Amino acid sequence: MAVELQAKPDFARTLERFEAWWQCEIVDRPPVCIGVKSPHNRRHAPPKTYASIRERWWDIDHILDQLQAAVEDTTYFADSFPLYFPNLGPDLVSTLFGCELEFAEVTSWSKPVAGSCRDILNLPLRLDSPYWSWMRRAIALSLQRGAGKWITTMPDLHTNGDVLLALRGPQELCLELIDDPAAVRAACDHVTTFYPAIFDDLWRPIEANGQPCLNWVPAPHAGRSYVTSCDFICMISTDMFERAILPSIRREMEFLERNIFHLDGPGALKHLDALLAEPKLTGLQWVAGEGHAPAAMDWIDVYKKAQAAGKCIQLCAANIDDAKQVAQHLRPRGVWFCIGQGYSLEEAQAFLDWTGRWAAGKSL
């Protein structure tokens, strides 16, 4: 895949590193994403005022103006690269089944519309949703304006059980899992039937422009790849998960060439073994969640278990020292370091050099 970016002239090498990472291999060193302080004078798009928060969310032209200014002001070090993540919040897919969205400053949420999961079985897919139409336009405009400047990603597609959560509401869905588990399983299967059509509707124009596939987890791949997930599973037992939700997640994994599961919070850890046993799962992203220990070292057993299952991992460390501590317990193959922002170029380069020595010392 030949993709050239003005702000990232070595992007082809980054693509090679990530492709190796997906396969638990290494080209020269593990992928590293670490934010460095900008040496430039910070540029901003001219400010705008809006009549409502919704209007601000939907102003794609100004969003891309802001992005362009940020790209021109950012140093893309190691394997970081400029991208546009088109975003209307986590419940976007629910709008394809009739939900409306409420917008706040930094997120949005759905208004449940289904009286039961059996009602969901009668809901058709509506790719003419105004929210979906906005997403199509945002991707098309980003591909046009961002040619040679940034990569356009897929949006946040919370699917399977999270669609049911948006359509029903959390309390109602939990109760229905107890009272009518067969209906929940059937509804999850119903919405998952549309997953290929939903995914490809947005992926095709990106693919046609010769760009890799990625999303809010910036791990590019030349073909279909995505972060599989279900935040709802933190609320349910392992038995409920494996009966009602996991079969749909499995179908998504089978459709994708690569996927990394987003496991969110200690409440979801009880499902780790079942997920790691899935042969089509490629990798794991572990997020401790708000209010829990941010240091990766506090969760070393999670990373070790994922590696033992043959999965690649996104290692989200609290800082450079945290990353180094965890690395001593891991194999280099299949590790992707994500360290955060605000480092000097010298600090970032020193860590990058260290990853090369660490990988070599662990026998590539």
The predicted structure's pLDDT at residue 362: 74
**Is residue 363 over pLDDT 60?**
no
| Better-scored residue on pLDDT, 291 or 348 | 348
With a pLDDT cut of 90, the percent of the chain lying above it is 92
Rounded Cα distance, 240 and 179, in Å: 12
State the average pLDDT for the chain.
95
**Is residue 47 over pLDDT 60?**
yes
**Is residue 225 over pLDDT 60?**
yes
Say whether 345 sits in a helix, a strand or coil.
Answer: helix
Rounded Cα distance, 302 and 354, in Å: 23
Q: List the domains of the chain with CATH numbers.
A: 82-207+236-256 (3.20.20.210)
Rounded Cα distance, 181 and 117, in Å: 9
The predicted structure's pLDDT at residue 364: 45
Q: What is the mean pLDDT of residues 102-121?
A: 97
Rounded Cα distance, 324 and 320, in Å: 6
Q: What is the mean pLDDT of residues 28-35?
A: 96
Rounded Cα distance, 240 and 185, in Å: 10
Query: Confidence band (pLDDT; 50, 70, 90) for 38?
Result: confident
Contacts of 315-324 spanning 24+ positions with Cβ under 8 A? 316/285, 316/286, 316/287, 318/294, 320/34, 320/347, 320/351, 322/295, 322/296, 322/297, 323/296, 323/351, 324/354, 324/358
Q: Tens of pLDDT along 177-188?
A: 999 999 999 999
As a whole number of Å, the CA-based R_g of the chain is: 21
The predicted structure's pLDDT at residue 305: 98
- Contacts of residue 354, Cβ cutoff 8 Å, sequence gap at least 6: 324
Query: Confidence band (pLDDT; 50, 70, 90) for 41?
Result: low
Query: Confidence band (pLDDT; 50, 70, 90) for 42?
Result: low
**pTM of this prediction?**
0.95
Q: Tens of pLDDT along 81-103?
A: 999 999 999 999 999 999 999 99
Query: Confidence band (pLDDT; 50, 70, 90) for 45?
Result: confident
Q: Tens of pLDDT along 226-266?
A: 999 999 999 999 999 999 999 999 999 999 999 999 999 99
Which of the residue ranges 42-51, 193-202, 252-261 would you say has the lowest mean pLDDT? Answer: 42-51
Element (H, E) at 305: helix 300-308
Decide the pairing of beta strands 312-316 and 283-287. Answer: parallel
Rounded Cα distance, 26 and 44, in Å: 38
**Is residue 289 over pLDDT 90?**
no
The predicted structure's pLDDT at residue 74: 93
The predicted structure's pLDDT at residue 293: 66
